[in-house]
Structure 1
């Protein structure tokens, strides 16, 4: 497609194939949607994982076959950027924001099913972010490689024109199962490789341009470090994880790795959100002492992660567009929390709150840099000071966690 420009920002879409490791015959088709500044000098990238109720349907394979004849693809129809369009948050600091959809969600033979717990999705997200950093806004990546087996086709003008990032700094973000998948991506390349080997999910991705007689990239381990995504933050909205032995290992090992990371991390959950507080394994957050949760695993013996709970917050109130599928999670028949309470709906006050929080989160970072401060600088930053109020934006209220405190955090012990 041709890029769409609105004011000083553009939107584009990239269609690729990915092999998780050159020695494993496992491939995935994916589409990356990108909002980026028209001046192509993005100071950083927010890489967003979409939630589990926005995915492929039962007609995936018929649509796939029809798309081959009509130059279309069912992945284009997922369109997560419509449901998580927080582009207002990225403008002030001249950042970009991207979303990735893949041809499977949980298992290849049921691509319409995604109940979370699959580290492969986090691997795909990291690979997509790194692709944008290395190759930019082009599907013709083999023309942008000055070294290696594709160098004979190198097109210096295309390689230059496709670039839109001035750093490799990435905030990994996500909603619902996407929030848990983002936890894996935020660990970075080395940890993804280490845990991937341990879980029999090796990760050294190779990019392909099509299914038959494709051009392909070098494995990511051969890329210069500056061409790979550098995680500088984690932004989670009602993260949902699952654990089924062998099939879905969940993200607990990735959360353990993140517990020692010195970077800003924030988690928002809803007071009336059954999906992340009751159905997630473990729950995203709990106010009951001793209950293991995603938050407690992220804190370990003390970490940078901060959690807050939105009063009347739902599972889908963050969305920037209505989704009949996502709304199922908030139906009274599905969720017994907050009976009779008017919870937040998409495109409402919780959406505005989320956009403002993300804007303030991005504002932590100097142009082209990661967060330069200590834990004290993070916890005393404008972002957290703003969040630690009964009503940060004057509309949405937070649940009090401790007397006069609306954030949960276990500080690192080695301050």
Structure 2
């Protein structure tokens, strides 16, 4: 489809197939939604992993077969940006924002099948971000790829019409299980390959055109570093992880890497969020410092990770629109019995806070930053940055309140 333009921003829906490694017949169908500046000079990309829309319903494959006859596809009916539309946060600094939807098994009846423990979904996000960096906003990536230079359809000049990134700098973000998946993408290509090899989730993706089957990309390992996503930060909104033997190993290996990565990382949890504080395996955070959590796994003497807690924060308060599936996570919450105020609902004050959070996080990064760039400073400068000064107070946006930690601060760092 042709991109849709609203004011100075464009929107496009991109549909492709990813083979995780050319040596193995493992494919995933993906749709990428992307918002990018009309001037095609994006200063960076926020790649968002959604938390409860990863995939399909129980009728996905019948719909897929019927759609093949009717020129329709069930993935086009899934629009994650509808629930996480924080795009006003990217406009001021001319950034782009994207979402990836993949056909991993998940449904309203069984929302836990891919509930956070599958690293493949984080690999999807990394592949999608790299796709946008190398090819821009187009379904016709194969016309640009040097791998296809001798094919009749090759048209390298197409990149002038489709490319929109000035660099390869990416903030990986996500909510719920998407927060855990963002941890995977944030480790970067080399670690994705290393951990993938060790865990039987090999990652050297090849892209396939969904209609022109013979057209495919070269393996990502042959791309230049500038053509692959460069993680410059990660943002986890109430991350939920899970372990299922053989199927879902969880994200601990990736958190071990992030614990030693010198890039800004922030975790936001909700005071009333049962899903991330109790149901997640392990919990995202706990007031008991001796308890194993995602946050303790992010700790090390060199960790840049930090956490903040939203008073009355729920699991679905981040959403820009209510979702019945996400709402299941908020049926049981630890605030109902001992708090006088209702936890936040989708499309309310917690949503507006999240938009301001992303806007201030983006402000960490300089304009006209080159390829393989990122935050310009050391840990002390990250800790004392304007972003942290904004976040580390009772009410960062003047509306919602944060819960203070035992030391009286509103942000806690994961350094041992």
TM-score bracket, normalised by the shorter chain, equals over 0.9
For the residue of structure 2 that corresponds to 1:34, the secondary structure is strand
Could you list the runs of 5+ residues in structure 2 that have no partner in the other structure?
none
| The 10-residue stretch of structure 1 (67-76 or 388-397) with the greater mean CA deviation from structure 2 | 67-76
TM superposition shift of 1:213: 3.3
Partner of 1:186: 186
Partner of 2:333: 335
1:407 to 391, 398, 411: 411
- Give the count of matched residue pairs: 407
> Which consecutive aligned stretches of 4+ in structure 1 deviate over 2 angstroms post-superposition?
52-56, 110-114, 147-154, 211-214, 334-341
1:388 to 379, 387, 392: 392
Whole-angstrom CA distance in 2 between matches of 1:301 and 1:383: 22
Whole-angstrom CA distance in 2 between matches of 1:280 and 1:13: 32
Q: Are residues 273 and 54 of structure 1, via their aligned partners in 2, closer, same or farther at CA, if it must alter by over 3 Å?
A: farther
Whole-angstrom CA distance in 2 between matches of 1:323 and 1:161: 36
The answer to whether the Cα contact below 8 Å between 2:8 and 2:38 also exists between their aligned partners in 1 is yes
Partner of 1:13: 13
The answer to whether the Cα contact below 8 Å between 2:123 and 2:184 also exists between their aligned partners in 1 is yes
For the residue of structure 2 that corresponds to 1:306, the secondary structure is strand
Whole-angstrom CA distance in 1 between matches of 2:278 and 2:102: 27
Partner of 1:360: 360
Map residues 247-258 of structure 1 onto 2, 5 A cutoff: 247-258=247-258
TM superposition shift of 1:403: 3.6
Could you tell me the TM-score, scaled by structure 2's length? 0.94
Whole-angstrom CA distance in 1 between matches of 2:233 and 2:106: 25
Map residues 15-414 of structure 1 onto 2, 5 A cutoff: 15-52=15-52, 55-105=55-105, 113-145=113-145, 147-152=146-151, 153-210=153-210, 213-331=213-331, 334-339=332-337, 341-367=341-367, 368=369, 369-411=373-415
Deviations 1:217-246 (A, max 9, x none): 000000111000000000110000001222
Deviations 1:245-294 (A, max 9, x none): 22111000000001111011000000000000000000011111211111
The answer to whether the Cα contact below 8 Å between 1:52 and 1:116 also exists between their aligned partners in 2 is no
Deviations 1:176-209 (A, max 9, x none): 0000001000000000000000001110000000
Q: Are residues 246 and 89 of structure 1, via their aligned partners in 2, closer, same or farther at CA, if it must alter by over 3 Å?
A: same
Coordinate RMSD, CA, aligned: 1.8
TM superposition shift of 1:50: 0.3
TM superposition shift of 1:301: 3.4
